[in-house]
A and B are shown apart, each in its own frame.
Chain A
Amino acid sequence: MVAVSTKLPTEEDILRPINTLTKKYFILYGIAALALLAFLVGWAYQLQKGLIVTGLGDWGSGGGSTWGLYIGAFIWWVGVAHGGIILSAAVRLLGMDRYMPIARLAEMTTIGGLSAAGFYILVHMGRPDRMVTSVLGHYHITVNNSPLVWDVTVITAYFVLSATYLGLTLRYDVSRLRDDLPDMFEPVYKLMTIGYTEKEDEVIDRMVWWLAAAVIIMAPLLLHGGVIPWLFALLPAMPAWSGGIQGPMFLSIALMSAISGVMIISYAFRRAYDWEHIITDDIFRGLLLWLGFFTLLFLWFQLQSVLNGVFMGPLASQHAAEAKMAHPAYQVAMTLMFGTLVFIFLQGIRPALFSKKRALLASGIILTGTLTEKILFVVEGFLHPTFDIYAATPGTYFPSLIEWLSLAGTAGLVALLFLNLSKLVPVVELHAVEHMRGEHGHDEDDEHATEPEVKA
């Protein structure tokens, strides 16, 4: 079942989401809005009653877990976001033209992921009302020591970076497709293309290249390979979190989650708008291989960290590693991810084993696996601290209904973002379409233009 697409993509194709309005769209919109609304109600209740409505508690004599699903999901969403922007940057920087049609989806995933993560910061706080006065008011002092402040800084920086990135590349598309875009949003388009002239294309190209370069360089230093794991790994007395391996580990999880997320979103758009010839099978095969590669790295890092604990580690690390290995949720998550890796490996050898449905399933499994691992990772720290004398430690924790609902709510939030954006701007770049047709709107070498790159 090798899908051969001979059809060339057109402007109408990428405008289709904007110019159609189907029943399915409304149903999906309703579900996403309902999920978000349900959580907002839950959050309102939490604001009224306090964080006691969660399953959290005080580690130590109290026998609880200080952080739980909220923080686990927070770092998971940040991972999705960071992975998304890395994916998109790699496409631009390394010339991975094959993935051009999904680059913008990856950028939008980043915006969505960062929005969800930012929302989690508020949800997680005991006094969200003080966010501005307490955090910004003392920023010049706290940025020197607090990894949490580094975190907020980096998330903000990446939000700005990704939004700029997305905004700049959209100018090209919107200015060219303006006539076919709905008049309803005219002011928005005007604002987006303010001062646009064709002369800027070249400049924007270079700017985007540098933005992409910044993303790629900063990824291991500041994104999921740095600041986010440092939130945990730098603390002195929580052996389940410590170790330099957490940087690479977090980065691999971020990329796994982002690739999976982008695959699911791509699948949905392809199915909804008949984009077989734009988001080709080839893209899914390629993404699946990359997913396999990062899953392999992730499992390797897990092995490193666990083995470092169980093979004659210091007592505290040993207890933490043994407890981690013995945890049923950990075992299930690792088995699922290992199984997926085996499938990806096999379909690499035997292409007939590939199908988009299976790729979709693999993505779902990886996302579930990484989310489980993240939440577990957060809780494990409190279960096996160095100062493990308390009878109440390891304590107990199970997310409350409201915490579970937050997952649905943030997923709904991200879905709504896609549903809204897809009615406003093309989610596939005009560049990608031009590229697939073998045209080049601007400043590409002529020799490229003469070679059709459409893969058959």
Chain B
Amino acid sequence: MSTDDESFHPLGQEWEGELENMLDDTEYDTDLGMQMAQDAMRVTKGELSEAEFHEMYHDDVMEEFGEDQRPTQEAFEAAQEEAKGTVSRMLSAFDGDGEESRRDVMKKMGVGAATVGMGAFGSTIDGKPSLAGEGEGHGGSHSQAEQNEDLQWGMTIDLERCDGCLSCMEACASENDLDQGVNWMYVMAFEDELTSGGSPAPDNIVGGTSDHNMLVRPCQHCTDAPCEKVCPTTARHTRDKDGLVLTDYDVCIGCRYCQVACPYGVNYFQWDEPDVAHEDINGHDGAEVDDPEEITHAEYENGTERWVDSRSPRGTMSKCTMCPSMQDGRQGEERVGTTACERACPPDAIQFGNVKDERSDASQHGEHPSKSRAIIEISGDVPDPETIDAQLSEGDDLEAVLGNEELDLNAEVVSIMKAVQIVSEEEGLEPGDEENNTILEGQVTIVESVTALEEYVDLESEAALTELQLGDGEASDANARLREFAGNPSSKFKLLEDIGTHPNITYIGQEPGPEAEQVEGPSEYSDISYERSDGSEVDLVDKRQEILDEGTVGDVGWSL
């Protein structure tokens, strides 16, 4: 069929051209790719041996991709040697036929090699340099395999700091113009037979409540999200560039299978027309936008936009989005790497960030909760280096520092400042400037101030270390001091980790057991009201069913 054009490919010139274009779109060498593909075809025709083919391109492949996982001649020969014992013995049993079979085997191997060769280009087109065997291997689906390996938004939530004020619920509902009872963010107090009371952080830390165990429940933005897996339309999807699990409101058919499959119960269906009309959606904090699409749409890798943010239209599913319009920078650079709930949380119990980056707030708070808490806690009390320079003079001692009214420092704050400095030297991490890595930024500020202090005062003398309760001034002493100050969290966990969803929310504090049950919390839901874009102000509602029942035709008040 395609013999009269000059293509090496059996499907012809047009197909070859298409392949070439695909290669052109990658960062890899198109000519090398086409040349290899052509020779791979020769292997299938038997004009070239598989080993020759591998040998021919080994150096080029190494140069282009940095690795060559195709079997080289040495590997091939080694394998032959190994197989000789069994294969040749088996083949010799066939006598004359043996040679024939061997040739067949070689031919088949050639075809196999060609397949591997083409497969390699397939994966470079997907933007990945390696040839095979890439991937973490937790059974991810196609979309997960293509995901950005460097960015995954997520949270660390410090339940021991949550005091149940519901500010996050209020901020979320307001930001997204949610109907009453649509609690994308839901905060609940719970009791568990296993624990008697709350497990708050120590008293000197803001937040926490000794009467309750708290659970803060946004969407878990699972890496292996069951909701996405079951969706019959791909409306529920993971955004490749940052791992957010979102719902395309233009595609969703409202079958509600995602809500059925989600183990956490984070989905809320739009059973009727949403309270806030689409044209009234105007953003946060009264910041008027002309076009609601500016904050309801999010950007995708391929340059397209999809309607995934803010309250959903009638007949579709909604849930916590982790504010993609903020992550896309549409609400200003200062909001990238933050969410409405995180910004609203008074005790900073919610730490949002890139969980794949150890510098992010989420990672820092998850990995070093005591230090992170301490930084959050003392940040407001730390004088800046200029003030220190202005207030202190050569020869001042610790007494003088603590006695200085302008600096307003006490021994505890200095002790923690010094402890943070010791620990941070150990880690040696810089905050970077792409996201809001506030914890490391706070750490830098503290370290700068400590350095300024040490221009005047020796904080590493034995006497100073003793006064600051820092032992020998080692990292372990500093860590112990931080734990003593900010508490050592009872546990770190992810919700229902054993069912394989790989959630991207990490919790610090008391994990609810299987018998845990929600109880009345420190704040009443109905005491909190939130304002929406259209100017309406309504109260938070806990049990949405009470509202939904009003719309039921022939509601008799019974229940199955």
Interface residues of A (CB under 8 A from B): 42, 45, 49-67, 124-128, 130-131, 133-135, 137-138, 141-142, 144-149, 152, 235-238, 315-316, 327, 329, 375-376, 379, 381-382, 385-393, 395-398, 400-402, 404
Q: Which residue of chain B has its CB nearest to the CB of A121?
A: B255
A148 to B226, CA, bound (A): 13
Q: Which residue of chain A has its CB nearest to the CB of B217?
A: A61
Assuming the contacts A57-B544, A134-B235, A390-B188, asked whether A62 and B263 have C-beta atoms less than 8 A apart, the reply is no
Q: Does B559 contact A (CB under 8 A)?
A: yes
Q: A51-B271, A126-B270 are in contact. List 18 more A-B contacts (CB 8 A).
A: A60-B186, A61-B188, A62-B545, A126-B254, A126-B255, A134-B232, A141-B234, A146-B231, A146-B232, A148-B232, A149-B232, A236-B500, A329-B560, A376-B560, A387-B263, A389-B190, A389-B516, A397-B560
| A66 B254 Cβ-Cβ under 8 A | no
Main secondary structure of the interface of B (DSSP, over half): loop
A62 to B182, CA, bound (A): 8
Q: Smallest Cβ distance from A62 to chain B, in angstroms?
A: 4
Partner of A392 from B235, B259, B543 at Cβ < 8 Å: B543
Going nearest first, the 3 A-B pairs with the smallest beta carbon separation are A126-B254, A60-B265, A126-B315
Q: Which residue of chain B has its CB nearest to the CB of A396?
A: B559
For residue A382, which residues in chain B have a CB less than 8 angstroms away from its CB? 260
Q: Which residue of chain A has its CB nearest to the CB of B251?
A: A134
| A61 B265 Cβ-Cβ under 8 A | yes
| B545 A142 Cβ-Cβ under 8 A | no
A388 to B552, CA, bound (A): 26
Partner of A55 from B231, B519, B555 at Cβ < 8 Å: B555
Assuming the contacts A329-B560, A389-B512, asked whether A146 and B215 have C-beta atoms less than 8 A apart, the reply is no
Q: Which residue of chain A has its CB nearest to the CB of B500?
A: A236
For residue B554, which residues in chain A have a CB less than 8 angstroms away from its CB? 400-402, 404
A309 to B510, CA, bound (A): 28
Q: Does B430 contact A (CB under 8 A)?
A: no
- One digit per residue, 1 when the CB lies within 8 angstroms of any chain A CB and 0 when it does not, for chain B 336-378 equals 0000000000000000000000000000000000000000000
Assuming the contacts A127-B254, A392-B542, asked whether A56 and B553 have C-beta atoms less than 8 A apart, the reply is no
A236 to B515, CA, bound (A): 18
| B183 A61 Cβ-Cβ under 8 A | yes
| A398 B251 Cβ-Cβ under 8 A | no
Assuming the contacts A67-B260, A145-B229, asked whether A53 and B552 have C-beta atoms less than 8 A apart, the reply is yes
For residue A386, which residues in chain B have a CB less than 8 angstroms away from its CB? 263, 496, 499, 514
| B226 A235 Cβ-Cβ under 8 A | yes
Q: Smallest Cβ distance from A347 to chain B, in angstroms?
A: 33
A181 to B260, CA, bound (A): 51
Q: Which of B542, B544, B557 has the most CB of A within 10 A?
A: B544
| B268 A62 Cβ-Cβ under 8 A | yes
| A391 B272 Cβ-Cβ under 8 A | no
For residue A144, which residues in chain B have a CB less than 8 angstroms away from its CB? 141-142
Q: Which of B142, B265, B499, B560 has the most CB of A within 10 A?
A: B560
Q: Which residue of chain A has its CB nearest to the CB of B520?
A: A391
Q: Which residues of chain B (259-309) have a CB below 8 Å from chain A?
A: 259-261, 263-273
Q: Smallest Cβ distance from B186 to chain A, in angstroms?
A: 5
| A128 B253 Cβ-Cβ under 8 A | yes
Assuming the contacts A58-B544, A125-B255, asked whether A385 and B263 have C-beta atoms less than 8 A apart, the reply is yes
For residue B235, which residues in chain A have a CB less than 8 angstroms away from its CB? 134
Interface residues of B (CB under 8 A from A): 141-142, 181, 183, 186, 188, 190, 215, 226, 229-235, 251-257, 259-261, 263-273, 314-317, 495-496, 499-501, 512, 514-519, 542-546, 548-549, 551-560
| A53 B551 Cβ-Cβ under 8 A | yes
Sampled A-B contacts (16; CB under 8 Å): A50-B273, A52-B271, A53-B552, A63-B543, A63-B545, A125-B254, A130-B253, A135-B253, A137-B233, A138-B251, A144-B142, A145-B141, A237-B499, A386-B499, A391-B517, A402-B554
| A141 B142 Cβ-Cβ under 8 A | yes
For residue B263, which residues in chain A have a CB less than 8 angstroms away from its CB? 236-237, 385-387
Partner of B543 from A49, A61, A147, A238 at Cβ < 8 Å: A61
A63 to B186, CA, bound (A): 13
Q: Which of A62, A141, A142 has the most CB of B within 10 A?
A: A62
For residue A128, which residues in chain B have a CB less than 8 angstroms away from its CB? 253
A67 to B230, CA, bound (A): 15
Partner of A61 from B186, B317, B549, B551 at Cβ < 8 Å: B186
Q: Which of B181, B190, B232 has the most CB of A within 10 A?
A: B232
A-B contact count (CB 8 A): 218
A238 to B263, CA, bound (A): 7
Main secondary structure of the interface of A (DSSP, over half): loop
| A57 B514 Cβ-Cβ under 8 A | no
| A387 B495 Cβ-Cβ under 8 A | yes
Assuming the contacts A127-B253, A397-B560, asked whether A50 and B499 have C-beta atoms less than 8 A apart, the reply is no
Q: Which residue of chain B has its CB nearest to the CB of A386?
A: B263
| A315 B514 Cβ-Cβ under 8 A | yes
Q: Which residue of chain A has its CB nearest to the CB of B557?
A: A398
| B519 A126 Cβ-Cβ under 8 A | no
Q: Which residue of chain B has its CB nearest to the CB of A64?
A: B545
For residue A142, which residues in chain B have a CB less than 8 angstroms away from its CB? 231-234
Assuming the contacts A148-B255, A392-B543, asked whether A398 and B269 have C-beta atoms less than 8 A apart, the reply is no
A126 to B546, CA, bound (A): 20
| B553 A66 Cβ-Cβ under 8 A | no
A135 to B254, CA, bound (A): 11
| B496 A146 Cβ-Cβ under 8 A | no
A130 to B229, CA, bound (A): 19
| B265 A45 Cβ-Cβ under 8 A | no
Q: Smallest Cβ distance from B41 to chain A, in angstroms?
A: 28
| B230 A50 Cβ-Cβ under 8 A | no
| B269 A61 Cβ-Cβ under 8 A | no
For residue A66, which residues in chain B have a CB less than 8 angstroms away from its CB? 256, 259-260, 269
Q: Which residue of chain B has its CB nearest to the CB of A399?
A: B560
Q: Smallest Cβ distance from A31 to chain B, in angstroms?
A: 22
A315 to B512, CA, bound (A): 14
Q: Which residue of chain A has its CB nearest to the CB of B558?
A: A398
| A51 B544 Cβ-Cβ under 8 A | no
| A59 B518 Cβ-Cβ under 8 A | no
Partner of B553 from A137, A146, A375, A400 at Cβ < 8 Å: A400
A235 to B500, CA, bound (A): 11
| B266 A60 Cβ-Cβ under 8 A | yes
For residue B257, which residues in chain A have a CB less than 8 angstroms away from its CB? 146, 148
For residue B317, which residues in chain A have a CB less than 8 angstroms away from its CB? 126
Q: Which of A50, A127, A149 has the most CB of B within 10 A?
A: A127
For residue A60, which residues in chain B have a CB less than 8 angstroms away from its CB? 186, 264-267
| B496 A237 Cβ-Cβ under 8 A | yes
For residue B231, which residues in chain A have a CB less than 8 angstroms away from its CB? 142, 146
Q: Smallest Cβ distance from B246 to chain A, in angstroms?
A: 15
For residue B316, which residues in chain A have a CB less than 8 angstroms away from its CB? 126-127
Q: Smallest Cβ distance from A440 to chain B, in angstroms?
A: 48
| A126 B314 Cβ-Cβ under 8 A | yes
| A50 B555 Cβ-Cβ under 8 A | no
| A52 B260 Cβ-Cβ under 8 A | no
For residue B548, which residues in chain A have a CB less than 8 angstroms away from its CB? 52, 56-57, 62, 64
Q: Smallest Cβ distance from A437 to chain B, in angstroms?
A: 50
Q: Smallest Cβ distance from A156 to chain B, in angstroms?
A: 13
Q: Which residue of chain B has its CB nearest to the CB of A59?
A: B265
Q: Which residue of chain A has its CB nearest to the CB of B261?
A: A235
Q: Smallest Cβ distance from A64 to chain B, in angstroms?
A: 4
For residue B315, which residues in chain A have a CB less than 8 angstroms away from its CB? 50-51, 125-127
A316 to B513, CA, bound (A): 11
Q: Smallest Cβ distance from B178 to chain A, in angstroms?
A: 12
A316 to B519, CA, bound (A): 19
Assuming the contacts A135-B253, A236-B263, asked whether A402 and B515 have C-beta atoms less than 8 A apart, the reply is no
For residue B141, which residues in chain A have a CB less than 8 angstroms away from its CB? 144-145
Q: Which of A58, A316, A390, A398 has the most CB of B within 10 A?
A: A58
A381 to B460, CA, bound (A): 62
A54 to B142, CA, bound (A): 36
